[in-house]
């Protein structure tokens, strides 16, 4: 076997190994991206579904509380104003804590995404 034949054989083997490595790596990243996308969409879907159910329940509870407070005060308008004020107060508190909430969300999602 000559030196040229030996080099050609080595090049063919190196090419085959590198093609196998490339194809395996490509398949791995394709599966990894699919896994991450399905996990992300699952989290988003569950969050939207649970959040919407929570909002519907919270709406009914708020209306019932407004009627209850309004009945106790003798004026339904005051009951709705008090409940509205409570929601505005909670919104202001959430606005002030928005950076902490963002950090919590990023930390939670990064643990899911990178594991």
Rounded Cα gap, residues 83 and 60, in angstroms: 12
The pLDDT assigned to 109 comes to: 76
Cα–Cα distance list, 86 to 8, 67, 80, 101 (Å): 79, 14, 10, 20
Instruction: Decide if pLDDT at 1 tops 70.
Output: no
> For residues 87 and 109, which has the higher predicted lDDT (pLDDT)?
87
Rounded Cα gap, residues 36 and 27, in angstroms: 14
Whether the CB-CB separation of 109 and 43 falls below 8 Å is answered with yes
Q: pTM above the 0.75 mark?
A: no
Instruction: Decide if pLDDT at 3 tops 90.
Output: no
- 47-75: average pLDDT: 96
DSSP string of 93-114?
HHHHTHHHHHHHHHHHHHHHHH
User: For 27-49, what is each residue's pLDDT tens digit?
Assistant: 999 998 998 889 888 888 999 99
Mean pLDDT of the chain: 89
For residue 44, what are its two tokens? 């988003």
User: For 96-108, what is each residue's pLDDT tens digit?
Assistant: 998 888 888 888 8
The pLDDT assigned to 89 comes to: 97
* Total domains, the chain: 1
Angle between helical axes of 3-73 and 76-96 (0-180°, round to 10): 150
In degrees and rounded to multiples of 5, residue 75 shows phi and psi of -150, 115
Give the range of the structural domain holding residue 62, as residue numbers without chain letter.
3-114
- Work out the widest C-alpha separation in the chain, in whole angstroms: 106
């Amino acid at each position: 076997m000559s030196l040229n034949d030996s080099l050609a054989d080595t090049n063919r083997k190196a090419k085959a190994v590198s093609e196998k490595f490339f194809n395996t790596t490509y398949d791995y990243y394709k599966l990894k991206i699919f896994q991450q996308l399905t996990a992300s969409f699952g989290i988003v879907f569950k969050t939207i579904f649970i959040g919407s159910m929570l909002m519907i329940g919270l709406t009914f509870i708020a209306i019932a509380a407004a009627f209850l407070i309004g009945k106790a005060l003798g004026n339904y308008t005051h009951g709705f104003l008090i409940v509205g004020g409570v929601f505005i107060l909670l919104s202001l508190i959430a606005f002030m804590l928005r950076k902490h909430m963002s950090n919590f969300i990023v930390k939670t999602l990064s643990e899911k995404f990178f594991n």
